Structure 1
Amino acid sequence: MTQTDLSWVRTEMAQAMPAPAGERGLVAWVRKNLFASVGDTILTLLGLVLVALILPPIIDWAFVQAVWTGPDRTVCATIAQGGIQPDGWSGACWAFVNAKFGQFMFGRYPLEERWRPILVGILFVALLAPLLIPRVPHKGLNAVLFFLVLPIVAFILLVGGMFGLPHVETPLWGGLLVTLTLSFVGIVVSLPLGILLALGRRSRMPVVKTICIVFIETIRGIPLITVLFMASVMLPLFLPAGVTFDKFLRALIGVSLFAAAYMAEVVRGGLQAIPKGQYEGADSLGLSYWQKMYFIVLPQALKLVIPGIVNTFIGMFKDTSLVYIISMFDLLAIVRQNFSDASWASPQTPASGLIFAAVVFWLFCFGMSRYSMFMERRLDTGHKR
């Protein structure tokens, strides 16, 4: 082959060409995702028909005919566009939510002290946001501040009784404050405790393994309501006379232990999915048991079970509404309690309050779900089994 035969060889990479016009843009996305086949087309059309039937009445009830402000139930019960309706107001009573918003957020927490939970909320968001954003540096310091310093500061601010802050008893807490506090403590405690329980259940030491199995199967075999009832009502009966501790603390312990048992099974599933070669490879490097778990096994196992972990967190967040059984008023309970307020009794009050609570719960659960999907994509190594 002569030199002239090689003259066609490129000396630099060719420029990337744009995608074909039919493979990008809104029309291409619609064709690919909504009308890719006859079945997809039928389902898409049925979905559009359902949306056309359901969405307009919802918009009319929630926004067009809704009452947004007012002093009492009269704005929701009698007044309507164009006059008085005998069957009551036809739109949502957001005036009720607006009037009771402070209680929905803080319960009966004193008005003059509500700056304290607000400050805790600001600190919570300020420390959580950089912890969740991968590009933000100093994750170690951020984690110490969030998991160790923030709980102490939050306890001082919320409970008071020190540094000149008036003491606020936990029975006065309520609303979203109780829901978020129970959820945050439950998440922080249940994940590491669940990991330890999962490792203990796979341990070769009979005593440790038996204790972990008994704990996990006992907690998973009874409903959360029973755990809360036992922690609130039965536990004080087994304590020495005059010895007791706060009911809210009992609820925190009950929720955390309940979530930890389920978390242990999720983590155990991830541990069992790790190939045996990973354990043998770590042993061949001379790593100790805890080094092997910390550096080799757990990072892979936890990545595999991110959906299960987040699903447990979401379930626990929603299950906090069960603390109503022990006379603690979370967001849902405080909304329902205000239905008995005669000054706001109207046909639309219950629906408006419950939809408000549902939207708040959905926002938090949807946020956790979307972030877990983001972490799955970020940690995906492309490995296919």
Structure 2
Amino acid sequence: MSNGSQSFVSKTILPQLPPPSSEKGVIHWVRKNLLATPQDVVLTILAIAFLAWAIPHVVNWLFVQAVWNGTDRTFCATTVQGGTQPDGWSGACWAFVRAKFTIFMVGLYTPDERWRPALVAILTIILFAPMMIPSVPKKGLNAILAFIVLPIVSFFLLYGGFGLPVVETQKWGGLMVTLVLSFVAIIVSFPLGILLALGRRSKMPVIRMLCVLFIEVIRGIPLITVLFMASVMLPLFLPQGWTVDKLLRAVVGVSIFTSAYMAEVIRGGLQAVPKGQFEGADSLGLGYWQKMRLIVLPQAIKLVIPGIVNTFIGMFKDTSLVSIISMFDLLGIVRQNFSDANWASAVTPLTGLVFAGFIFWLFCFGMSRYSGFMERHLDTGHKR
């Protein structure tokens, strides 16, 4: 519409204007998240006051007054306790962690053979780093190497054989046991959980009943009971003279326990897939396993990534329960070394527990962050 030489319709698209200064930046974030209501203001002030009081004490204990070098307890104990530190000192005893670090990592593994766990760790990083980067090609070959070849090679490297001396699993311990249990449990429980979830939704009554019975029985008892039964009761059902390695019993117990929880997580994903996806796959003439492998399971697993990772994180922390069957994971071997009279002091236990807690947190936080990354990478519109 025009009036003479004047035009009322713009012929060009105006450039996008930046948001108002009051709607962006640090000030906007603080105002929106910390000072939005009077209650938020009060809670923010209390939180800042608490952090201002706590952080200096924590930093002082962890770093400033901490002892980083030493050969025995006298470097960490106070003069009242027979040590060299002034009375009232209570800094962390990182000298204890440094002295025991190798034991915390691999337990009592034969000293001359400790290059083998180190080599397994390097191979694991080399094979899993490309798996976790979506842009790296040849994921199929990488998966075969990581989930089939690596476990076999790792077993012979850690245990022995093919010219390598045998190192009994009784000597294994520390972070190595935690990672071995977690890695094997993840590899076993994920596909087993998928099969159990599919079996629970099966139209065949016998299959469905067996899967429901397995899932409900395992979920109804604590992991400590499963480990106790695997360690103590399983040998009673074996022929005389037969035995099962203690680490293998723990692996089986943790894997079975985790698979029951994984089955329910996967089943939740299957129920969240729209019915039209099943009907569309049927209309294409796909068989049951083709439909599940190509259409249903990829969508279901994507929807329940947070639940899957949450199950793995819980399982990773629950590996500390293997101490009840006389196996020492990271936490168990840290606690075992508290009894070392050469390092007995008031701050040694707390320092060891802080170290173990930090290692557990590091792995769990890493899994959580990677889970968030994969959710964003695979997001195709389900996110609200």
- Please confirm whether the aligned pair reaches a TM-score higher than 0.5, indicating the same fold: yes
| Deviation of the 1:153 alpha carbon | 1.2
Question: In 2, distance between residues paired with 1:259 and 1:187?
Answer: 8
Match for residue 369 of structure 1? 368
Q: Residues 79 and 87 of structure 2 are in contact (CA less than 8 Å); yes or no, is this contact kept in structure 1? A: no
| Deviation of the 1:384 alpha carbon | 6.2
Identity of aligned residues (%): 68
- 1:161-200 aligned at under 5 Å gives the runs 161-162=161-162, 164-200=163-199
Match for residue 94 of structure 1? 94
Match for residue 70 of structure 1? 70
Deviations 1:133-185 (A, max 9, x none): 112222111111111111111111111122x2111111100000000000011
| Deviation of the 1:275 alpha carbon | 2.1
Match for residue 308 of structure 1? 307
Q: Structure 1: 5+ residue runs without aligned partners?
A: none
Bigger CA drift: 252-261 or 32-41?
Answer: 32-41
Q: Secondary structure at the match of 2:76?
A: helix
| Deviation of the 1:8 alpha carbon | 5.2
| Deviation of the 1:66 alpha carbon | 0.6
Match for residue 206 of structure 2? 207
Question: In 1, distance between residues paired with 2:54 and 2:109?
Answer: 39
Sort the Cα spacing of 1:191 and 1:4 in 2 relative to 1 into closer, same or farther, 3 A: farther
Question: In 2, distance between residues paired with 1:131 and 1:231?
Answer: 33
User: With structure 2 as the length reference, what TM-score do the two structures score?
Assistant: 0.94
Question: In 1, distance between residues paired with 2:276 and 2:365?
Answer: 37
Deviations 1:191-232 (A, max 9, x none): 110000000011011111111111111111111111111111
**RMSD, aligned α-carbons:** 2.0
Match for residue 379 of structure 1? 378
- 1:34-183 aligned at under 5 Å gives the runs 34-78=34-78, 84-86=85-87, 89-162=89-162, 164-183=163-182
Question: In 1, distance between residues paired with 2:288 and 2:241?
Answer: 44
Q: Secondary structure at the match of 1:77?
A: coil
Q: Secondary structure at the match of 1:41?
A: helix
What is the count of residue pairs matched by the alignment?
380
Match for residue 10 of structure 1? 11
Deviating beyond 6 angstroms after TM superposition, the runs of 4 or more aligned structure 1 residues are 1-7
Sort the Cα spacing of 1:151 and 1:240 in 2 relative to 1 into closer, same or farther, 3 A: same
Q: Residues 76 and 85 of structure 2 are in contact (CA less than 8 Å); yes or no, is this contact kept in structure 1? A: no
Deviations 1:356-384 (A, max 9, x none): 00010011111111111122222222336
Sort the Cα spacing of 1:383 and 1:90 in 2 relative to 1 into closer, same or farther, 3 A: closer
Question: In 1, distance between residues paired with 2:75 and 2:238?
Answer: 52
Bigger CA drift: 119-128 or 251-260?
Answer: 119-128
Match for residue 297 of structure 1? 296
User: With structure 1 as the length reference, what TM-score do the two structures score?
Assistant: 0.94
Amino acid of the residue matched to residue 305 of structure 1?
V
Match for residue 30 of structure 1? 30
Match for residue 241 of structure 1? 240
Question: In 2, distance between residues paired with 1:4 and 1:176?
Answer: 81
Question: In 2, distance between residues paired with 1:129 and 1:34?
Answer: 38
Question: In 1, distance between residues paired with 2:360 and 2:68?
Answer: 21
Question: In 2, distance between residues paired with 1:384 and 1:141?
Answer: 31
Deviations 1:66-110 (A, max 9, x none): 101101000000369xx75345x4111111011000000000001
Question: In 1, distance between residues paired with 2:383 and 2:315?
Answer: 31
Sort the Cα spacing of 1:48 and 1:30 in 2 relative to 1 into closer, same or farther, 3 A: same
